Structure 1
Amino acid sequence: MKGLGVTRFLPVDQAGCFVEHVLGAEPPKGRDLQVHIKAVSVNPIDCKMRASVAGELSVPKILGWDASGVVTAVGPDVTLFRPGDEVYYAGSISRPGCNSEYHLVDERIVGRKPGGLSHGEAAALPLTTITAWESLFERLLIPLDPQHNAGTSILIIGAAGGVGSMAIQLAKYAGLTVVATASRDVSKRWCLQLGADFCLDHQRHLVAELDRVDLAGVNYILCLNDVNYYWQAMADIIQPQGRICAVVSAKEPLDLTVLKNKSVGFAWEFMFTKAMYETDDMVSQHELLNRVADLVERGIIKTTMTEQGGPLTAANLARAHQRVESGQMVGKYVLSGFGA
């Protein structure tokens, strides 16, 4: 089988940024599924992992952590799936990625593909769905109860990207007042289309922007952008005993004492944690992906695929990375099918 990988870090406009590589046909073991990849989506983590390659590798590193496909074989300990099942998942950063014809993945982090979606539409969802779900309901500890959340608000900073697009929808499902931030008109329209109640300009002072929509503060904040840049503004905006979650690594140490007087909680979210450490609750990602598949089928959640770049080839994958690196993406970029 074939895969697309990197042997050294190259800018996306240089030939050889991605190379085709013949992979060994390793059978699934334990709780692994072998999945025939039908579509993949590109995320910022793909670009970061490509940039992290130092020197020249003798064996290409396969990237890609968003996939939809069909199970073709299962390991001896698998209980959740069988060959022929359509699935979607993000995978594990500790293992080779999904930019290949076939891929091995632990069943505990795989969900059934939502009915009614193409493989491309489904591939846009897993990584951002898991990140948004865990951020809202596991890190921020928001109850999944619309009645309980009546009158409760969340600020989502950088809401037009993949994670923000899912967080808006899930937060509305949970009954929160959703305040999104974006800077471009197209991004603001996208956030409002997904259900945000307000959309602020994060290039302006957020306290003043909240005043503009008659909000004195918010109960929760999900920061999907530069946490250092927004740190003091978040400390000013958050209500007493509120909670803040961030997904982007800090460039400098954070001063947690600015949250002390308000007794504010702070948490990080990294969706690969459970798979990396094989935590006892690892199967929760399987469960939440299935739950979101149900919400998609009920019309409550919609795919965030906004751009399709053709089949998965070296040239198309480089263009996808270039698009994601531009910082201008709204929603998700998808490639469907291998080669051609």
Structure 2
Amino acid sequence: MIVVIMVADVLTPVSVHLGPLLVVAPAITASFASPRLTAAIGALAVAADVLIGIHDEGLGTLNVQVGLGGLVVVSLFVVLFALIRDRQRRELTQVRSVATVVQTVLLRPVPERLGPLHLASAYLAAEAEAQIGGDIYAAVRTSHGTRLIIGDARGKGLPAISEAAALLGVFREAARRSPELPALVADLEDSFDLTQGQSDAADEVYAESFVTAAVLDISDERPILSIVSCGHPPPLLLREGRVISLDVGRPAPPLGLGGLGEPQYVPTEFSFGEDDLLLLYTDGVIEARDAAGIFFPLERKAARLTGEQPAALLKGICDDLLEHVGGRLGDDAALIAIRRIAGT
């Protein structure tokens, strides 16, 4: 651009001074280059303007000197802009790296193998730049089997993340020491109430927060699983090409709303035998809509993948889900797939 402007100035009459157009060179450079390169292009533009003034024999005129001064000032400003942008970019990179570490700690992928179970997990963030959110899942090995939780914190922003982290911490600890599933869920409710009680009572964000969750206990010895649902969508059981919705008779209120009454955490048992495949998910999956407003048909999509291993099942569902919504989810989505291995 500098060369083109210099050539154009040479070819035009002396009365036409094109030097001020050189400001576009450092201005455009600042949009993508480093401050050092922006400064170098600015200096080159100033030097080119001086050469144009010498060539036109007008370097001593007020018009050329004002244009040259304006070019210097603009070049300094765009270098300052490049410096500020680079500093903000470094800060954003640091924040993203911290968020990635936080998500790794908060939502550790479930182990591929726990006792007689083969597992896989997936998490899809609604925001392209987001690393963490309110959807949670975890799996804990106990002396008699495996316990799992999947949930969706309905608060917003940092309160939802804080509650999710606290709830997962309590689950990972209490799942090993609570002998019965109802006692485990009661501990989760108590911890949620404690977390809210430590916040400002006038904070409406915390006051409106709660967590829908499904807590499961899968026995090693018996081909059964027990579920306590706290207002969470029912898991799907994939068996011999069929998809069975594991609806509990009377779900308990979401965690955080136990103060509205005396919740009864009654587990519901379902058969879960060899080669059965269990799919847990949050409502970000089933409430995802396409451009026409049609919900994602999870059961129909899962029915085509009943013979797959857990990781392949989740990959197929996630691919179909992103295709359904055009690549952008309206809400976070978390999934866990569990298969009971034959012969164990």
Q: TM-score if structure 2 supplies the norm length?
A: 0.27
Choose between structure 1 and 2: higher strand proportion: 1
Choose between structure 1 and 2: higher helix proportion: 2
Q: TM-score if structure 1 supplies the norm length?
A: 0.27
Higher relative CO (Cα under 8 Å, sequence separation at least 6) belongs to 1
Rg (Cα) greater in structure: 2
